[in-house]
Structure 1
């Protein structure tokens, strides 16, 4: 429990609350109907969400990771990139920030009854199963990008790739926008649902993103990452130290690369000599 008493722990929690508040406010604000009526298509919410993600990554990336999304947080927990305590606190903070963001935005709306347009809904011409599939696919590509960027940052210490993540958020909303509304984020759906009291098919916007994110995290960490190996998967399933196995995998991969390069150089020199 020493972590709970640390200043960094509470700074991280507050960062997730504020980041979620800003993110939800940006998405809701971009959906505000103009004088010509409701905006057509997902282009404004997609651009607003992507831009907000880039900005929040720079603001809070070094504090909490600017996860903002419970689906991404649960994927990090499933792959043991995040401990249980911090994951639970982050999810609660993200939902609280989303509720506050939706509530504040509701107070400043010109007409209170328009709040219902901000709730994620399954369109009449689409069934819940189709919306679920769209949410899974869109969130899968988002979470896979997040894991890829984080893996590269750990290995190379480069810029954390906020622009790549922002683009993937926008792409996800474009993918699922006209099928499920392009939620990708359970907290973003929860905030307006509580304020407007609309819960129809709300489960789609939790199960879809969470399943998509967890599948992306598992597939990246244990199949596509440079450190992926059967031993790493077994270590995760048996609650052993993944970092030791991961370091060994990366070392073997680096040694193999060096060996192959040396062999190619030796063959080239031999051919030139002949």
Structure 2
């Protein structure tokens, strides 16, 4: 059974950790910038709901695939739920995870503040659709984030499933598919940072806790299950880089 590695504060002095944090900030910033901008564009253009949902799904699918690959130095997490799933699988230390979480939230906030400045519009938040209760919303986010992390593990972390570097693309596909499936119900966040940035900038925290509880449960559960049931006995990837699996 994988054990959570606590790590030490000494990791904060390592140059490779700071390099990883810079890359994680940049890639998360660009991911949130493109993702939130696509939602703002559909609102500004008054696009049909289905067309708008498709545009947002495609944008997220593309930018996730590219930023995971571009973020190979940090592992391209882009998402506190991904970091938690990798923590539960023993692939990153707790101390380094905390640094990543802070990094991701700051990047998301910076991206949304810039978007508000550039567009003059309010950043749209994730919130539950009419008729969708808190419990349903949490379950939606658990299932969708579990799907995301299961894909990350199966196509990137698991060396047997590296698929010649296709992991980031396939992960992008599942993000897009999940937005098409759940966007009309829970908003299909799957990412606390992606939800945090717009909520902070617009100062609208409606249903916000759902986008922490659901993704973190789904991500952590997927990491724990995949690591302990499907990667038993395999050598862990170097901490904290998951993308190394694509290069081997």
Flag whether TM exceeds 0.5 (same fold).
yes
1:30 to 22, 27, 38: 38
Give me the TM-score of the superposition, normalised by structure 2: 0.84
- Name the CA distance, whole Å, in 1 between partners of 2:42 and 2:93: 41
Q: Which residue of 2 aligns with 1:14?
A: 22
Unaligned runs of 5+ in 2: 1-8, 236-248
Give me the TM-score of the superposition, normalised by structure 1: 0.76
Equivalent position SS for 2:172: helix
Q: Which residue of 2 aligns with 1:259?
A: none
- Name the CA distance, whole Å, in 1 between partners of 2:100 and 2:209: 20
Deviations 1:8-59 (A, max 9, x none): 1111111111111111111111111366515513211111111001111221
- Name the CA distance, whole Å, in 1 between partners of 2:174 and 2:201: 28
1:246 equivalenced with 2:234 (yes/no)? yes
**Greater Cα radius of gyration, structure 1 or 2:** 1
Kindly report the root-mean-square deviation, in angstroms, between the aligned alpha carbons of the 2 structures: 1.9
Q: Which aligned pairs between 1:95-244 and structure 2 lie closer than 5 A?
A: 95-109=105-119, 111-112=120-121, 115-116=122-123, 118-153=124-159, 158-159=164-165, 161-223=167-229, 225=230, 227-228=231-232
Deviations 1:182-238 (A, max 9, x none): 111000000000000111211100000111111111221112x2x33xxxxxxxxxx
Unaligned runs of 5+ in 1: 229-244, 248-274
1:59 equivalenced with 2:70 (yes/no)? yes
Aligned-residue offset at 1:6 = 2.3
Equivalent position SS for 1:121: coil
- Name the CA distance, whole Å, in 2 between partners of 1:57 and 1:154: 19
Q: Is the 8 A contact 1:173 1:184 kept in 2?
A: no
- Name the CA distance, whole Å, in 1 between partners of 2:61 and 2:161: 25
Q: How many residues are treated as equivalent by the alignment? A: 224
